[in-house]
Chains A and B, each alone.
Chain A
Amino acid sequence: MRNTCINTIFKLAKKDKKVVFVGSDLGAGVLSDFKKRFPDRFFMEGISEQFITGMVSGLAKEGLKPFFNTIATFLTRRNFEQNIIDLGLHNLPVRLIGNGGGLAYAHLGPTHHAIEDISIMRSIPNMTIVAPCDAFEMKNIMSQLNKIKGPLYIRLAKGGDKIITNKKKKISLGKSVLFGKPKDVLFITTGITTQECYFACQKLKKYKINAGVLHNHSLKPFDTKNLLKFSKIVKKIYTVEEHIVSGGLGSIVLEELNLNKSKDVIKVSRIGINNKFIKKYGTQKDLLDYCGLSTKKILKKVLNNYGK
């Protein structure tokens, strides 16, 4: 997903002279083709995220279209005030590309776990937040970015995820996507938990539980219309996110149902990461399982509720 995103920025830069790429201190050789072809629009500015957020704001203020890429924690937490004031308050079209959203950097420990990024970024007025489920969807969304006039945070997941997006269906930035035809259980997801739940749905068929996934690549603005529509037709709703349970997707769903006086609010259970630092290493898969977010654990939770 990350490679697709980065390569798409290069493609956008070929078409649009205003596109500028700014990194902090990325891995050696990242976007070397971009650097070679457009040396005056490629910047590696060092480990100085607070400054860079200001700098990209200045670039945008003068009419350019900057993409700022670094590790998600340093793009959301380290520069939080800059995200609010420089980007949010001035409503500037800067694209923040966060590598390793969620637990992708499992092996690097809690300093690199971006598990509260959605919560803090959605508190910023004018900020759009997007978390695609696979590379295909990512590429498609990237082609629609000109629709967003203000700042945007893209939460990238790990690399090499399976493509689950239906390539024949139109992807509209801001519109949620339904997988399956749920009657019993609806998983409401974002980012890669869509994949985990997608496979959980297939396994639930064996138990005659008819489940589907409502994937939200757009967390802000949120597709409340689809939420209300599909919440009505199922018996049980699980919000599943690679994020702390408070402030993220689960909170958005509860808030929107409550705001719209929906009786379906009682159907909702939130599955996510408890508000604790994770003291384990291993792979992202290991930590997803540890936090109850693997296909296996999600399945277990649903079956338990069904007494199976």
Chain B
Amino acid sequence: MKSKILNAKNIPLDKRSIYLRSLVYLTIQKEKRGHIGPAMSLIELLRVLYDNFIDKHSKFILSKGHGCLALYAILYDKGFISKKDLIQNCSFNGILGGHPEHDKIRGVEISTGALGHGLPIAVGMALASKIKKKKSYYYVICGDGELNEGSMWESFLATSKHKLNNLITFIDYNKFQSYGKTRDILDLEPLTDKFKSFNFFTMNINGHDIIEIKKAILKAKKQKKKPSVIICHTIKGKGINKAENDSKWHYKSPLNEEDIIEIKNSLNLKI
């Protein structure tokens, strides 16, 4: 029997969220391709993290590397990369590609793209911080499809074993992966129960609600003995009307005229 899945309420976006999405459009404008759906679902998570929590004592890893268009948007917004870098996305001499690379992009700790790698590395980084008795925080965003990988569950076991309360894991639970619904491909439910049984401090939030995200991170940072996982119920393609909850927008290559018009209209762009 399949359990009930929580879904994110489709709340309206404010100016800053629309602006960050417009940067994604700017990035793909030339090459006309990219993982659009998976980027749009995690804009608010990145926004809250970078606006409020990422500092010199903390590090961020995008384990679902294919969501990098959103990361590029926030890195530009924070001054790590230039507008020229965005425009040159996927071009021969550009520093931005279809997956983020640590040795090219300032602000990217780990090259991700193959799924199931970012989290295990983050566990090691958080553990190193404990060994060195440093008070650093490590934030990781994982995809829901990424939870198909065995290495993720090996990592969750270890995170719990080492009581890594300095590692805060977000699941971008947009309920879709490349081929279709996560529920149909490899059902994750009951997800909350799984994390609870792994001894995680587990929260469920609307991953597009700025206040909820902020509150959840503050709660996670108060945990003394348990690692935290924040299951973020999100909408794949959020902000682009036709892309929402549509696996066809997981990876678009190339975007046709109709797609471009859809993005521009949804974001009210004049460029």
Residues of A within 8 A of B (CB): 20, 40-41, 45-46, 48, 50-64, 66, 81-82, 85-86, 89-90
Q: Which residues of B contact A66 (CB under 8 A)?
A: 124
A85 and B114 contacting across the interface, CB-CB below 8 Å? yes
Q: Which residues of B contact A60 (CB under 8 A)?
A: 124
Cα distance, A7 to B126, chains bound together (Å): 27
Number of A-B contacts (CB under 8 A): 90
Q: Which residues of B contact A41 (CB under 8 A)?
A: 131
Cα distance, A85 to B102, chains bound together (Å): 12
Cα distance, A190 to B219, chains bound together (Å): 56
Q: Which residues of B contact A62 (CB under 8 A)?
A: 124-125, 128-129, 132
Q: Does B111 count as interface, using CB distance less than 8 angstroms?
A: yes
B123 and A63 contacting across the interface, CB-CB below 8 Å? no
Cβ of B205 to closest chain A Cβ, rounded Å = 26
Q: Which residues of B contact A90 (CB under 8 A)?
A: 102, 110-111
Residues of B within 8 A of A (CB): 102, 109-111, 114, 116-117, 119-129, 131-132, 150-151, 154-155, 157-158
Q: Which residues of A contact B150 (CB under 8 A)?
A: 50
Identify 24 residue pairs between A and B in the complex whose beta-carbon atoms are under 8 Å apart, listed by A's number. Answer: A41-B131, A50-B116, A50-B151, A51-B120, A51-B155, A53-B120, A54-B119, A54-B124, A55-B120, A55-B123, A57-B120, A58-B120, A58-B122, A58-B128, A59-B124, A59-B127, A59-B131, A61-B110, A61-B124, A66-B124, A82-B117, A85-B114, A86-B117, A90-B111
Closest to B136 in A: A62
Cα distance, A241 to B234, chains bound together (Å): 55
Cβ of A53 to closest chain B Cβ, rounded Å = 7
Q: Which residues of B contact A56 (CB under 8 A)?
A: 124
With known contacts A40-B131, A51-B155, A54-B151, A61–B109 Cβ distance under 8 A? yes
B151 and A51 contacting across the interface, CB-CB below 8 Å? yes
Cβ of A51 to closest chain B Cβ, rounded Å = 3
Q: Which of B110, B127, B129: most chain A CB closer than 10 A?
A: B127
- Which of A20, A40, A45, A86 touches B121 (beta carbons < 8 Å)? A86
B131 and A55 contacting across the interface, CB-CB below 8 Å? no
Q: Which residues of B contact A89 (CB under 8 A)?
A: 111
A48 and B132 contacting across the interface, CB-CB below 8 Å? no
Closest to A49 in B: B154
Cα distance, A55 to B121, chains bound together (Å): 5
Cβ of A40 to closest chain B Cβ, rounded Å = 6
